[in-house]
Structure 1
């Protein structure tokens, strides 16, 4: 088992907060841009 500190991290493109890799993102980690659904919704409202 890996420690949480050893997992890769990214920065959310909306809020700028750092978030770590999750198992459900294993296949699409390169495409993940947002830390949460709330940030995903905020990004959509910014564009419109």
Structure 2
């Protein structure tokens, strides 16, 4: 069993798409090392904000 994490001590990462920091979540407990995006929306957009196609 893993040790308890307090909310102040949760690990953070930077989103690969929007470059905003996001915090560890319980649902990511098993694959935190592979998590790259803060949300499904960022995951769907791609790897960089400039890779988005302009909307007409």
TM over 0.5, yes or no? yes
Equivalent residue pairs, number:
44
TM-score normalised to structure 2 length: 0.71
Bigger share in helix: 1
CA RMSD of aligned residues (A): 1.6
Runs of 4+ more than 6 Å apart: none
TM-score normalised to structure 1 length: 0.82
Unpaired segments ≥5 residues, structure 1: none
Taking the aligned partners of 1:22 and 1:43, their CA distance within structure 2 comes to 21
Unpaired segments ≥5 residues, structure 2: 52-56
